[in-house]
Structure 1
Amino acid sequence: MKYLVMVQGTQADYEAQSGKANATSPAWGEKDLQEMFAFMGALNNDLAESGELVDGQGLAEPAQTRLVDVDKEGRPVITDGPYGETKEVLAGYWVLECESLDRVTEIANRIQQCPIPAGAPNYPVVIRPIMGGPEVAS
């Protein structure tokens, strides 16, 4: 079964990671970033070796986002991000092929162990089965 495993963040989190402290997070230092990248690299290597990694990527900050919608006449309405009405956004993801929901939950728990600076927000890891495969047992 394939699963989409997602981590979340906010524009403020991206700013903190670039060294700018804010009301929700302290500034990340170079050591903090190196620890995070080393952790994620090791995780991705392990998932690739086990054959469970289909794809995984970190995403650019919300400020680089573009929203495409249509107005009442069907004309495109294009808005550049970030969006004031949006709190958390997708910060990164993995597409994993795992034997069970229990296994992908183990991986999500490992993702939660990623080092972050004291006081930085920690978001839940979201697991979504990808449709098109066998049914998910309840």
Structure 2
Amino acid sequence: MKYLVMIQGTQADYEAMSGKGGKDSPAWGEKDLQAMYAFMGALNNDLAESGEMVDGQGLGEPAQARTVGLGADGRPVVTDGPYGETKELLAGYWVLDCPSLERVTEIAERILQCPQPEGAPVYPVVIRQIMDGGGDVC
């Protein structure tokens, strides 16, 4: 079965990773970034070697995102960012092909072990099964 495994973050987290910390996200140093990249690289390599990795990507900061919706008049409305009622948003993902929900849960637990600076926020890892209905989404 295929699963979408998602990690969350905020604009403040992206800024902290570039060295501009704030009250909710301490600044990351070069060693913090290197540790995180090494951890994620090892995880991705392990998932590729096991044949479970289909795809995985980190996403750009929310400040560079746009949302396109429909206005009351049915015309497109473009707004900055993916912001809704929450500041947390999708920061990265993996598409994994795992034999069971238990196995993908083990991987999510490993993701939570990613090193980060003391005091940095810890977000849950979200797992969603990808439905294989064979039909179009729209």
Residue 108 (structure 1) aligns with: 108
Cα 1:98/1:84, change in 2 over 3 Å:
closer
Q: With the length of structure 1 as denominator, give the TM-score of the two structures.
A: 0.93
Compared with structure 1, are the counterparts of its residues 97 and 70 closer, same or farther at alpha carbon in structure 2 (3 Å cutoff)? Answer: same
Q: Kindly report which structure 2 residues correspond to 1:34-73, keeping only aligned pairs within 5 A, or say none.
A: 34-73=34-73
Partner in structure 2 of residue 4 of structure 1: 4
Identify if the C-alpha distance between structure 1 residues 84 and 50 changes in structure 2 by more than 3 Å, giving closer, same or farther: closer
| Larger displacement relative to structure 2 (71-80 or 57-66) | 71-80
> Does the residue aligned with 1:16 lie in a helix, a strand or coil?
helix
Query: Which secondary structure does the structure 2 equivalent of 1:63 belong to?
Result: helix
Residue aligning to 1:120: 120
Contact 2:55 2:95 in 1 (8 A): yes
Following TM superposition, by how much is the alpha carbon of 1:57 offset from its aligned partner in structure 2, in angstroms? 0.1
Superposition TM-score, scaled by structure 2 size: 0.93
For residue 83 of structure 1, report the CA deviation from its aligned partner.
Answer: 3.2
Following the alignment from structure 1 to structure 2, what is the Cα–Cα distance between the partners of residues 84 and 12?
Answer: 16
Equivalents in 2 of 1:100, 1:85: separation in Å?
33
Q: Take 1:71 and 1:2, find their aligned partners in 2: how far apart are those partners? A: 35
In structure 2, how many angstroms separate the alpha carbons of the residues matched to 1:29 and 1:82?
Answer: 27
Q: Is the 8 A contact 1:11 1:82 kept in 2?
A: no
Partner Cα separation in structure 2 for residue 53 and residue 28 of structure 1 = 28
Residue 86 (structure 1) shift: 3.0
- Counterpart of 1:136 in structure 2 is none
How many residue pairs get aligned? The number is 133
